Amino acid sequence: MRDTLQQPKPSWLKIQLPHGHEWQHVERVLAAHGLHTVCDEAKCPNKGECWGAGTATFMILGDVCTRGCRFCAVKTRRAGLPLDPDEPRQLAEAVKALGLNYAVITSVDRDDLPDRGAAHFATCIRAIHDTSPGTKVEVLIPDYVGPGLIPILGEKPNIVAHNVETVRRLQNVRDPRASFDKSLQTLREAASGGFPTKSSLLLGLGERDDEVLDALKELRSVGVSIVVMGQYLRPTPKEIPVVEYVTPARFDQYARRARELGFSMVVSAPFARTSYHAQQAWDRASARGGV
Using CB under 6 A, pick the residue from 26, 29, 35, 50 that binds ligand SF4.
Answer: 50
- In the chain, what is the greatest distance between 2 CA atoms, to the nearest angstrom? 49
CB neighbours (10 Å) of residue 193?
16
Site size with ligand SF4, rule: CB under 6 A: 11
How would you write 35-80 as a 3-class SS string?
CEEHHHHCCCCCHHHHHHCCCCEEEECCCEECCCCCCCCCEECCCC
Per-residue contact string for residues 227-266; x = within reach of ligand SF4 by CB under 6 A:
----------------------------------------
Q: Which stretch binds ligand SF4 (CB under 6 A): 43-51, 90-98, 112-120, 243-251?
A: 43-51
Using CB under 6 A, pick the residue from 26, 35, 56, 258 that binds ligand SF4.
Answer: 56
4: CB partners within 8 A, 6+ apart: 241
Using CB under 6 A, pick the residue from 33, 36, 47, 116 that binds ligand SF4.
Answer: 47
Q: Classify residue 182 by its DSSP letter.
A: H
Contact between 44 and ligand SF4 per CB under 6 A: yes
CB of 41 vs ligand SF4, minimal distance in Å: 9
CB of 39 vs ligand SF4, minimal distance in Å: 3
Q: Which stretch binds ligand SF4 (CB under 6 A): 26-34, 36-44, 95-103, 218-226?
A: 36-44
Nearest to 229 by CA among 202, 196, 257, 263: 202
Backbone angles phi, psi at 229, to 5 degrees: -130, 125
Residue number, 50 or 105, with CB nearest to ligand SF4: 50
Nearest to 187 by CA among 156, 230, 218, 213: 218
Q: Coil, helix or strand for 24? A: helix
Question: For residues 167-206, which are near ligand SF4 according to CB under 6 A?
Answer: none
Write out the residues near ligand SF4 by the rule CB under 6 A: 38-39, 44, 46-47, 50, 56-57, 273, 275-276
